[in-house]
Amino acid sequence: MIHFDNVTKVYTNQNRPALDHVSVDVDKGEFVFLVGPSGSGKSTFLRLVLKEERPNSGAIHVAGKDLARLSNFKVPHLRRRIGCVFQDFRLLPNKNVYENVAFALEVIGKPRRFIRKVVPEVIELVGLEGKAHRMPDELSGGEQQRVAMARAFVNRPMILLADEPTGNIDPATSIGIMKVLDRINRTGTTVVMATHDAAIVDSMRKRVVELEDGKIVRDQSRGVYGQAY
């Protein structure tokens, strides 16, 4: 599903590569934690998958497509198959829960009848039934992140990328967020989650890829956060 082959990314004006000859394979339906300290290249990895950045060398394949050969014109179609969740939720403050989720479908031109059918389903999937007409500022952090996950998942992507989704949320609420991610993963969606949160990684017992200074220092199935130390 995601295939990195010897990928190096150096940002302009920086000497040290953000990713340094990284090769990794993520299969369909896998759940992968991307761990490592700040600046170790986790976010760069996710941005490369979305083709928000281009690698300086190496090849990236996502959902069977070679990103180097994917024209800019087709990048939006790639992104429709990838859902994204961030630490800061990125909801639209002037739209309610339903509208925030529906927005993701409206802007890719889905018909209204389809939107009316699937949006309530997804809102229920993330556990926000009955809160469809709340505004984001009336929700707790955990609930806002659930809205963001609903928006990321509403178009049934093949891949869900989560960049520290529990970063702004207390540990108790984080467990609920992880349950939703697990539920999404069980529908067959590949999930890649970048995180600092050792407790979550340890409790989930999923594959762990650890980055340090842009290099992969550990790739372990059913791993925990700090075993390498």
Partner 1 sequence: MRANFIFSEVWIGLRRNLTMTIAVVITVAVGMAMLGIGLMINAQVTMMQGFWYDKVEVSVFLCGKNTPMPSCKGKAISAQQTKDLQGEIQGMTGVEQVLYENQAAAYANFQKTYAGNKLLVEAMTVDDMPTSFRVKLKDPNNYQPIVQALQGKAGVSQVTNQKDLVNQFFGLLDKLRSGALAVAIVLVLAAALLIGNTVRLSAFNRRRETGIMRLVGASNLYIQLPFVMEGVISGLMGGVIAAVMLIVAKVFLFEEIARYFAFGSQLGWDSVASVITLTMVIGVFICVLASFVTLRRYLRV
- The reply to whether 107 sits near partner 1 by the rule CB under 8 A is yes
Interface residue with partner 1 among 28, 77, 116, 179 (CB under 8 A) is 77
Q: Could you report how far apart the first and last alpha carbons of the chain are, in Å? A: 30
CB of 161 closer than 8 Å to CB of 89: no
Specify the long-range contacts of residues 196-200, CB closer than 8 Å, at least 24 apart.
196/35, 196/37, 196/38, 196/164, 196/167, 197/164, 197/166, 197/167, 197/225, 198/224, 198/225, 198/226, 199/171, 199/225, 200/166, 200/174, 200/175
Interface residue with partner 1 among 8, 103, 183, 213 (CB under 8 A) is 103
Nearer to partner 1, 114 or 198 (CB): 114
* Nearest distance, CB of residue 76 and partner 1, angstroms: 4
* Nearest distance, CB of residue 180 and partner 1, angstroms: 18
* Nearest distance, CB of residue 84 and partner 1, angstroms: 5
- The reply to whether 97 sits near partner 1 by the rule CB under 8 A is no
Look up tokens 């989560």; give the residue: 162
Interface residue with partner 1 among 61, 79, 131, 218 (CB under 8 A) is 79
* Nearest distance, CB of residue 49 and partner 1, angstroms: 12
- The reply to whether 182 sits near partner 1 by the rule CB under 8 A is no
Interface residue with partner 1 among 106, 124, 138, 182 (CB under 8 A) is 106
Coil vs helix vs strand at 136: helix
Work out the widest C-alpha separation in the chain, in whole angstroms. Answer: 53
CB of 194 closer than 8 Å to CB of 39: no
Chain-centroid distance of CA 43 in Å reads 10
- The reply to whether 114 sits near partner 1 by the rule CB under 8 A is no
Nearer to partner 1, 16 or 117 (CB): 117
Nearer to partner 1, 150 or 200 (CB): 150
- The reply to whether 116 sits near partner 1 by the rule CB under 8 A is no
Coil vs helix vs strand at 52: coil
Binding site for partner 1 (CB under 8 A): 50, 72-73, 76-82, 84, 90, 92-93, 103-104, 106-109, 112, 151, 155
